[in-house]
Amino acid sequence: MATIVVGVTGGVAAFKAPIVVRECQRAGHDVYVAATRASLDFVGRSTWEGITSRPVAVDIAGEGRAEHVELARVADLIIVVPATANSLARLAAGFADDMVSLTVLASDAPVVVAPAMHSNMWLAPATQANVQALRDRGFHVIEPASGALGSGDRGVGRLPEPEEIARVALGVLAARDQASNALAGRTVVVTAGGTREPVDPVRFLGNKSSGRQGLAIASAAARAGASVRVIAANIESALLATLPTAVQVTRVGSALQMREATIAQVADADALVMTAAVADFRPEAASESKIKKDLSNEEAPTIRLVRNPDILAEIGHSDQRPPLVVGFAAETGTDEEILAYGADKAARKGADFICLNRVGESVGFGDVPNDIRLLDARGNTAGRYVGSKDEVAAGLVGHMASFLDNLKR
292 annotated as a binding-site residue:
no
280 annotated as a binding-site residue:
yes
H or E element at residue 88: helix 85-93
108: CB partners within 8 A, 6+ apart:
none
136 annotated as a binding-site residue:
no
Pairing of strands 203-205, 197-200: antiparallel
356 annotated as a binding-site residue:
no
**CB 377, CB 352: distance < 8 Å:** yes
Known catalytic residue at 120: no
328 annotated as a binding-site residue:
yes
405: CB partners within 8 A, 6+ apart:
none
349 annotated as a binding-site residue:
yes
293 annotated as a binding-site residue:
no
Give the active site residue among 130, 207, 308, 357.
207
CA nearest neighbour of 272 among 309, 312, 244 = 312
Give dist(CA 332, CA 309) in Å, integer.
Answer: 23
CA–CA distance from 24 to each of 13, 21, 109, 116, 359 (Å)? 18, 5, 16, 20, 33
For 173-323, where are the E strands, in sequence order?
187-193, 197-200, 203-205, 227-233, 248-252, 271-274, 281-283, 305-307
Instruction: Give the Cα-Cα-Cα angle 211, 212, 216 (nearest 5 degrees).
Output: 120
231 annotated as a binding-site residue:
no
**Dihedral over alpha carbons 325, 179, 382, 373 (to 10 degrees):** -80
42 annotated as a binding-site residue:
no
Give catalytic residues, as residue numbers. Answer: 207
Residues in the annotated binding site: 280, 290, 309-312, 328, 345, 349
Residues in the annotated binding site for CTP: 280, 290, 309-312, 328, 345, 349
